[in-house]
Chain A
Amino acid sequence: MSLVTVNDLSFSYTGKPLIRNINLRLSAGEAVGILGINGAGKTTLFDLICQLRHPCGGEIINRSKHPTYLTQILTPPPQLKMCEVFELIMHLNAPAPMTLCTAQARLYTWSSALSNRYRAIAHKKAATCSYGEIRSFFTLTLLLIGSDLIMLDEPTAGVDPGFRHFIWLGIKKACAEGACVLVSSHYTEEIAANCNRFYMLAHQHLEAFTSGDQFLARYGANSLTDAFLNASLT
């Protein structure tokens, strides 16, 4: 049984259609990518799945018990340390509370270097953290808290290659533990390389792909970037 099922979903902003009759299936244990240019409707789709917006047509069946959602633009309370922000997130969003020590210990099993970087950020004041540090910290935290559906809206944008590597590692680990991760990005290579399958959202429609090769063939391109451009702009 699918964790999330989207049937013939349509949505418009003040009469201007953004997505039309789209279908989507998400199952436990898989990482699914959503590609699309800025303004294609990726964030709106995430909002719809989280019931932050209501569809104009179609239905969304969301069977997840503890969904979490990392939005694209997010500024933590600047006067708090990141470990205090972590505690806020635990109280407000986690299925069950977890201490920072446990989070670090779990990260240590993924990578000792990652655990050390995470700990270093945790003890910094949010106001002194870089955009990439904040983004990485939030993404990794949401991957650790035991949600069954994790929606990440462009988690690797503005993040250094080291943390990008670890974010994808975290996504794979969360999937291995049974979570479903839905992740949007502009980086086609990253999505094709790391997700079990992905969708392209363009011209109000969502098209499913199981591999990068299928995506290349569909749009008659030699590179994934060209395929993305062909899908979006033609």
Chain B
Amino acid sequence: MSTINEPNMPAARPIYRIATLLLKEHLREPSSLLWTAIAPSLLYFLMAPASAESENVRPYLSYAAWFYAYLSANVALFGFSFYLIGRRESGFVRSFIYKRASIRLFLSAHMLSYTALGMIYATAFYLMTKPLHGGYAYQEYLHILICFLASYMGFICLGLIIVALPIRFGTASTLFSLLSFLMLISSYRGASADHGQAGLFALVNPLQLSTLLFLNHNPPLQALLLIAPCALLAFYLIVKYFRIQPVWSRY
């Protein structure tokens, strides 16, 4: 049997090549770009500047925190998690990603690509919206990125639970939409409730919890150090028990 060996193929870095391909795929999807990148920025421009003019003493993050939380939830749930269900239900996983080494490689590249994507979205949002509230600040940007990473990892844990469920693509879509809708409703109720009730809503709403993380002026490294091991454990479990067979499958 002949062995194929190509010296010009960057085989030493397949994880980066796969991550790049996954990034390309995501960026070519117009609906995800619309909902994750364009819609939040447009909404921010519609809402925040008017508020900023009337209450210009409030800092940037008091307007933008919720948007960053929303971005991290969107990338983790509708991007990272929903994509895995899609690839499984399309039969692609069953054909090409069923060996242990392939699963590890694919999921690591997938995690890398969506983490990078989240950071790109957060950076783009900062670059677009910050000028409405003054100049760019390196420390503020760093604070946002760390909070974003912590928030994203928290939502990854939630998303991986859904990935582990034996649900079809359509059911997953409904579930993610429902979850997103409930978080939005809960955020609205939290914003319109008095201070005591708002705290209660924050306790049950991950989006609200994430918003509070951004608003906290203390260094968010503690939150990141708390959430990162949980996300890594969830990632380890999903690698170990990755569902290969499509759920639509006859049996």
| Chain A residues near B (Cβ < 8 Å) | 13, 28, 39, 44, 47, 50, 52, 69-77, 79-80, 84, 87-99, 102, 138, 144-146, 148, 177-179
Contact = CB atoms under 8 A, between A and B. Distances in A.
B24 A80 contact: yes
B20 to A, nearest CB: 9
B3 A93 contact: no
8 contacts: A69-B94, A77-B92, A92-B97, A95-B3, A96-B5, A97-B9, A177-B2, A178-B1
B6 A179 contact: no
B90 A91 contact: no
A69 B3 contact: no
A71 B18 CA distance: 22
Interface of B: 1-6, 8-9, 11, 14, 17-18, 21, 24-26, 28-29, 87, 90-92, 94-99, 102, 105-106, 244-246, 250-251
* Interface-centre pick from B1, B29, B94, B97 (highest chain A CB count, 10 A): B1
Nearest to B105: A92
B11 to A, nearest CB: 5
A80 to B, nearest CB: 5
B227 to A, nearest CB: 29
Contacts of B5: 96-97
A98 B4 contact: yes
B9 A77 contact: no
A80 B25 contact: yes
Contacts of A138: 95
Given A92-B106, A93-B102, A97-B9, A79 B96 contact: no
Given A71-B91, A96-B6, A88 B1 contact: no
The 8 tightest CB contacts between A and B, nearest first, are A178-B1, A97-B9, A75-B90, A91-B14, A79-B28, A74-B91, A97-B11, A146-B4
Contacts of B24: 79-80, 84
Contact of A95 (B4, B9, B97): B4
A17 B95 CA distance: 25
Given A80-B25, A97-B6, A145-B4, A89 B245 contact: no
A93 B4 contact: no
Contacts of B105: 91-92
A99 B18 CA distance: 15
Nearest to B5: A96
Given A74-B91, A144-B4, 19 more contacts: A28-B1, A52-B245, A69-B95, A74-B90, A74-B95, A77-B25, A77-B90, A79-B28, A80-B28, A84-B24, A88-B18, A91-B14, A94-B4, A96-B6, A97-B6, A97-B9, A97-B11, A145-B4, A179-B1
Contacts of A145: 4
A84 B1 contact: no
A52 B98 contact: yes
